[in-house]
Amino acid sequence: MREIEVSRIGKAIEDACGQMATVYSADIIRRIRSAAETETLPRAQSALNMLVKNAEIAEQESIPICQDTGMVIVFLKVGQDVHFTGGLLTDAIQEGVRRGYTENYLRASVVDDPLYDRKNTKDNTPAVIHTEITGGDQVEIELMAKGFGSENKSAVRMCTPAEGEEGIIRFVLDTIAAAGPNACPPFIVGVGIGGTFDSCARLSKKALMRPLDEDSSDPRYADLERRLLQKANELNIGPMGMHGRTTALKIQIEYEPTHIAGMPCAVNMCCHVCRHAKAVI
Amino acid sequence: MKRIHLPASRQELRELRAGEEVLLSGTIYTARDAAHKRLKELIEKGEPLPFDLQDAVIYYVGPTPARPGQVIGSAGPTTSSRMDPYVPLLCEHGMAGMIGKGRRSEEVRQAVMKHGAVYFVTVGGAGALLSKAITAAEPVAFEDLLSEAVVRLTVKDFPCFVGMDTEGNDIYDLADQCVSDR
Ligand code: SF4
- How far does residue A233's CA lie from ligand 1's centre (Å)? 20
**Is A184 near ligand 1, meaning CB less than 6 Å away?**
yes
CA distance B85 to B88: 7
Domain boundaries, chain A: 2-21+65-146, 148-274
Closest-CA distance of chain A to residue B123, Å = 6
Looking at the DSSP assignment, which residues form a beta bridge with residue A164?
none
CA of B47 to the centre of ligand 1 (A): 34
**Closest chain B residue to A119, measured at CA:** B145
Classify residue A30 as exposed, middle or buried by CB count within 10 Å of its CB (0-12, 13-18, 19+).
middle
Instruction: State the CB neighbour count (10 A cutoff) for residue A167.
Output: 16
Give the distance (Å) from ligand 1 centre to CA of residue B126: 9
* Ligand 1 probe mutation, B79, B80, B123, B130, most atoms within 8 A of CB: B79
pLDDT of residue B179: 39
In a structure prediction context, what are the per-residue pLDDT tens digits for chain B, which is 182 residues long? 899 999 999 999 999 999 999 999 999 999 999 999 999 999 999 999 999 999 999 999 999 999 999 999 999 999 999 999 999 999 999 999 999 999 999 999 999 999 999 999 999 999 999 999 999 999 999 998 888 999 999 999 999 999 999 999 999 998 655 433 33
pLDDT at B146: 84
CB atoms within 10 A of CB A184: 31
A144 lines ligand 1 (CB under 6 A): no
Asked whether A32 and A185 are in contact (CB, 8 A), the reply is: no
CATH class entry, domain A2-21+65-146: alpha beta
The count of C-alpha atoms lying within 13 angstroms of the C-alpha of B73, restricted to the half-sphere facing its C-beta, is: 25
Nearest to B83 by CA among B127, B31, B20: B31
The answer to whether A10 and A100 have CB atoms below 8 angstroms apart is no
pLDDT at residue number B50:
94
Q: Which residue of B has its CA nearest to A242?
A: B172
| Inter-CA distances, B168 with B53, B69, B115, B151, B181, Å | 21, 41, 11, 28, 19
Q: What is the pLDDT of residue B1?
A: 87
Q: What is the pLDDT of residues A134-148, one digit of tens each?
A: 999 999 999 999 999
Assess whether the C-beta atom of A66 lies below 6 angstroms from ligand 1.
yes
Its CATH architecture, for the domain B25-180, is: Alpha-Beta Barrel (3.20)
ipTM over 0.90: yes
Q: What angle do CA A90, A99, B75 make, to 5 degrees?
A: 125
The residue whose CA is least distant from atom 1 of ligand 1 is: A149
CA dist A142 and B99 (Å) reads 35
**pLDDT mean for each 10 residues of chain A (281 residues):** 97 97 97 95 95 98 97 98 98 98 96 94 97 97 97 98 98 97 97 98 98 97 98 96 96 98 98 97 96
Whole-prediction pTM: 0.94
